[in-house]
Structure 1
């Protein structure tokens, strides 16, 4: 099957060709990463959990000191892009930047820039991870915010790929398990499913929250718990969650093989079923 390289773009009130130049050269999202974004699963023209993603977009914008985008305009843009996307699995990415500004770290002049785009994603599959030598700073000004300042993740993911892994996992400055470049981590231990608390510096993942809610409703013991980085390195079973992956088992950590765990598989089944039943939980 040929790779799906479609890109659907909305900017300034209408759909555009993805090759069309749209963002100004002095946009702060481009020059200094002064922006936030969200990425939702797109299934047959329907974005999943859009309200939760918009809530987090606004929290990230507030945390970064940006004005909030017009939520109604964002929804209309997403609906337009989703409708143009049509059938098939994809992701819709909502970008909100500070807009035009000086070529430095001073505050942008604005107004903000809104750009919404969709592209294809691969179906979820088990993953291998590598623990990278760099750390998340849980005391950073942008800890827990989904910003466009992603160079750290790009570097870490490239390092993981060099090790034969699909995703990179960070500890934090205290030596605790934190998160992946675009994922949250769950570890199975003593009949429980454990995930680092937000105080670790990890992102408050939308899928992470839904997994905790839906697993608890199904009687699975799932908890936030501070974990040493070694908890993943020594785990028998673990999983990753994200908006485009859903829930997938980790089948390798730094070259050590893992088998999918019973709790991870149970939660994956619950999530797959319920996210199809409830498009905007």
Structure 2
């Protein structure tokens, strides 16, 4: 299926010109975005994604987005895309701006909002590799979901060249952090543990929901203490004394079955977490 695009009250096809060449999101990556899975024509956890869109926009210094207008765009693209759509993307940029990094004065800004719907190809398992680059946990945009994604493009391209579908990164102090588009969980000693937000990882919606639902169901899933998960824990995954799991809006909860080209087993708690997430997802599409 093709991608359907909405902006400023109308629908566009993927080949129609839409964004100005001096849009600040295009020239300097001055924008934020959200990606939601779509099930039966409904965007999953849309309310949580919109609140994170707002947090990211304000954290980047953009004006507060009108979430009612965003919802209007979501309704339009999902109605036009048909029943087979699997992914929704919401992008908000600073709009037309100077060629440099400085923005226009707030009163002169006109943000550019685009809502897109298109196909998705989720898989039940993940294959990941380690890469030599790191997340900067002290970055000005740490924890914000911005359109400045070049680091992720480079890292995941290496992952695909090595036969994987995701790369997992450390932060600048050697802690396990996240994937390029996913959060990471380590299974060891009878529990699943995910890096804390202080590591510089994104506050993933799937991560957030799994922590909440696991606590309610008594599944041993928790956030690590700062410094608890060193990047070297991945050596334990290769040796078989720990397991790995990834989470994200399209992959949902996905046990890792290959690390750096080595086949590794899915952890039993990871498999339980996967089942739990799918069950709760079916119960409520906007939890």
TM bin, normalised by shorter chain, reads over 0.9
Partner Cα distance (2:200, 2:127) in 1: 22
How is 1:34-53 mapped onto 2 (pairs within 5 angstroms)?
34-53=30-49
How far off its partner does 1:124 sit? 2.2
How far off its partner does 1:80 sit? 1.1
Choose the corresponding residue for 1:242, options 237, 243, 248.
248
What are structure 1's unaligned runs of at least 5 residues?
none
Matched with 1:68 is 64
Partner-residue secondary structure (3-state), 2:280: helix
> RMSD between aligned alpha carbons?
1.0
How is 1:13-52 mapped onto 2 (pairs within 5 angstroms)?
13-52=9-48
How far off its partner does 1:89 sit? 4.6
TM-score of the aligned structures, taking structure 2 as reference length: 0.94
Moved more, 83-92 or 151-160: 83-92
Are 1:270 and 2:284 counterparts? no
Matched with 1:205 is 204
Choose the corresponding residue for 1:252, options 258, 270, 273.
258
How far off its partner does 1:158 sit? 0.8
Partner Cα distance (1:41, 1:233) in 2: 32
How far off its partner does 1:233 sit? 3.0
Partner Cα distance (2:267, 2:85) in 1: 26
Matched with 1:228 is 230
Conservation of the 8 A alpha-carbon contact between 2:34 and 2:90: yes
Conservation of the 8 A alpha-carbon contact between 1:167 and 1:181: yes
Conservation of the 8 A alpha-carbon contact between 1:185 and 1:238: yes
How is 1:173-184 mapped onto 2 (pairs within 5 angstroms)?
173-184=172-183
What are structure 2's unaligned runs of at least 5 residues?
none
Partner Cα distance (2:16, 2:109) in 1: 21
How far off its partner does 1:232 sit? 2.4
TM-score of the aligned structures, taking structure 1 as reference length: 0.96
User: How many residues align structurally?
Assistant: 277
Describe the superposition over 1:109-132 as per-residue Cα deviations: whole angstroms up to 9, x where unpaired.
Answer: 521000000110113221111111
